[in-house]
Structure 1
């Protein structure tokens, strides 16, 4: 039983669960007034998030115990599911906030582009693991998987969801770089990818998208329209100070800060819990990301290593973009904060992904524990043999003395 316990990586288990529970509390605090004004109970969004949290915990536990190596055999089915779901969004999706990214299932809305993040990581990790023997061959090893990546990115961009497309593109670059391809090949891919994304952005440019850039970098030029959201975020962050106003006591969520329970949840945390709350959230996510990279370095299985790198990069990149948006360092793109923001699909994918990371960690820890036992057993056997030799030698000496 003790040896089984040693295989669990508690640094990867507790932080995401604590953040998910913390997120439910903050979502209730951020949404209770607006939910009531919309004609719903004050706990409306909290209850919906709790339901998704229950589903996410099931996915988390399943991923913790399901051998991650089997995903390597399922990548074709995973990619087929991702493409079909994104095509389904294009045909039957619902438009929310000028983006056709959701499929409505009963009282819930599902965002298939969230599944692309973990699904594409699994696909790229599996493909580049199988191509290690000729990884330096650009046209044979590197290029073919990029066709699938471009198809997925194209389907996401046309929704349009530039924020998610940027995250998926960044994660893909990290996994491809970690697979061992030549630096010049990676540089070429990054230049081409960024060029295509910029061209698409200009092709699909609208006044609303331009306002996101002006609102991010010149918010006070148009404080009532393009800069409104960021200015309200600034006020929330500045008001919180060191320890905040207390949970439930924030002012900006009372109709001033839009999307307070999702995109701007960290601004609410800053206002109600201060710098202490912000450091707590960032610290928990940092533990997950750094521990994930550490597990990736220790994993001897190439697929497991690339998978751990991709998942860790996913959390790190998404957190950076979300925090950059609320602080004015990046344009507002509607990217949620992992584990904390309101959003069922995001929470489900995040918990499942960290469950996969835990499963990789369990295999790494099991191998380490097994080797420690093997070494201990070997040393014990050597000691026993030496004791036997010493005993025989002593008996012979005693016999000679008696003679």
Structure 2
């Protein structure tokens, strides 16, 4: 029997995202001269598509479909991410000077969103075949040698995503997911800590080799330093203080929108910061829009649904007898959890903004369908798990 609660929780988030795509796009519609229903219709189509994918996959036989589907997604979208760089400009859509979407008649596709799902399945499939709970403890060098093929695949993904697509946020999500999945696959905590250290070092390197990332860090620090430096000695605080001529308007307006919403919010469609102050409120800053129009109660409700959804996925993972199912479900839960947390930290000024979409809530058909695909595969696995419980 399929986990209906998981399906319902996902449907609630999808419905919320559709409502937000209508309410939060007022200024964008007027600015670009779009039809009033331009964004909501597209998000509605993507939302219905995601729900249909979840429903359709939940009715498939997991023994026949999960492995075939997971490996196919990994290979197809890995290739698409590679060839996208060589496609002519009329076949791709760029953002920040990097090619991120492939244009098809009537829609655009972001391969990285689907690749994340395929990458998680590839890791689950490979870890379940290579690692065993009965493995003898190994020293750190032996462990690193054992996972070198995965680090190589991840390095290629870093080149395709962080370098060619200029999207460091997605690499962070994948890197954290890889490290924690290795830990759940039976690797040592020493290896986990080492990988986190390497990832942090690479993160710093990628920041310092990119001018726009340095500017983004400075803008974040300019907004956060007044709160942080108060806890440091005055001499040290003066050395760390950064003066920027450009106002960190996105974070400032995001915090103001959150403050303006208060406990209960201004009401649906009554928010003011979507009127040109937060230009990406329906995508990267959707949680700020929810905070303004639905208040703390609305953000708490959305967070609760996300937490319950992740809990259901972990519950399915915990009851799975096959390692590949166990690891894949954990990977999907991590993708959703890290994306939500990194976005929430960014829009509240705790960390720099990474451009990470909120699963099911941010506007974007590719992310919506990819997340629906991931949950559809988890629902397939839940059917296998629940059938064992009945027996």
Task: Give TM-score scaled by structure 1 length.
Answer: 0.84
1:213 counterpart residue number = 217
Correspondences of 1:309-348 after superposition (within 5 Å): 309-348=330-369
Measure the CA separation in 2 of the matches of 1:11 and 1:125.
24
Judge conservation of contact 1:59–1:355 (CA < 8 Å) in 2: yes
Correspondences of 1:149-188 after superposition (within 5 Å): 149-158=154-163, 159-188=165-194
2:195 counterpart residue number = 189
Structure 1 residues 201 and 112: CA distance shift in structure 2, 3 A: same
Measure the CA separation in 2 of the matches of 1:325 and 1:344.
22
Residues 224-278 of structure 1: CA deviation (Å, up to 9, x unaligned): 8451001111111111111111101110001111101111111111111111110
Judge conservation of contact 1:128–1:141 (CA < 8 Å) in 2: no
The secondary structure found in structure 2 opposite 1:346 is helix
Match of 2:269 among 245, 248, 254: 248
2:18 counterpart residue number = 24
Judge conservation of contact 1:32–1:43 (CA < 8 Å) in 2: no
Structure 1 residues 38 and 74: CA distance shift in structure 2, 3 A: closer
Cα deviation for residue 52 of structure 1 reads: 1.4
Task: Give TM-score scaled by structure 2 length.
Answer: 0.87
Measure the CA separation in 1 of the matches of 2:55 and 2:69.
19
Cα deviation for residue 364 of structure 1 reads: 1.2
The secondary structure found in structure 2 opposite 1:218 is helix
1:63 counterpart residue number = 57
CA RMSD of aligned residues (A): 2.1
Residues 292-347 of structure 1: CA deviation (Å, up to 9, x unaligned): 11221111111110011000011100000110111001111211111111011111
The secondary structure found in structure 1 opposite 2:101 is strand
Structure 1 residues 162 and 139: CA distance shift in structure 2, 3 A: closer
Structure 1 residues 244 and 201: CA distance shift in structure 2, 3 A: same
Measure the CA separation in 2 of the matches of 1:301 and 1:172.
19
Structure 1 residues 268 and 223: CA distance shift in structure 2, 3 A: farther
Cα deviation for residue 214 of structure 1 reads: 2.2
Number of positions where the alignment pairs a residue of Structure 1 with one of Structure 2: 362
The secondary structure found in structure 1 opposite 2:100 is strand
Cα deviation for residue 75 of structure 1 reads: 5.4
Instruction: Please identify, of 241-250 and 93-102, the stretch whose mean Cα deviation from structure 2 is larger.
Output: 93-102
Structure 1 residues 226 and 304: CA distance shift in structure 2, 3 A: farther
Judge conservation of contact 2:158–2:171 (CA < 8 Å) in 1: yes
Judge conservation of contact 2:77–2:115 (CA < 8 Å) in 1: yes
The secondary structure found in structure 1 opposite 2:24 is helix
1:306 counterpart residue number = 327
Judge conservation of contact 1:49–1:342 (CA < 8 Å) in 2: yes
2:234 counterpart residue number = none
Unaligned runs of 5+ in 2: 225-241
Measure the CA separation in 1 of the matches of 2:201 and 2:179.
14
The secondary structure found in structure 1 opposite 2:85 is helix
Measure the CA separation in 2 of the matches of 1:343 and 1:122.
23
Measure the CA separation in 1 of the matches of 2:68 and 2:260.
51
Measure the CA separation in 2 of the matches of 1:71 and 1:264.
34
User: Who wins on radius of gyration, i.e. which is larger?
Assistant: 1
The secondary structure found in structure 1 opposite 2:49 is helix
Measure the CA separation in 2 of the matches of 1:224 and 1:277.
35
The secondary structure found in structure 2 opposite 1:33 is helix
Measure the CA separation in 1 of the matches of 2:246 and 2:84.
30
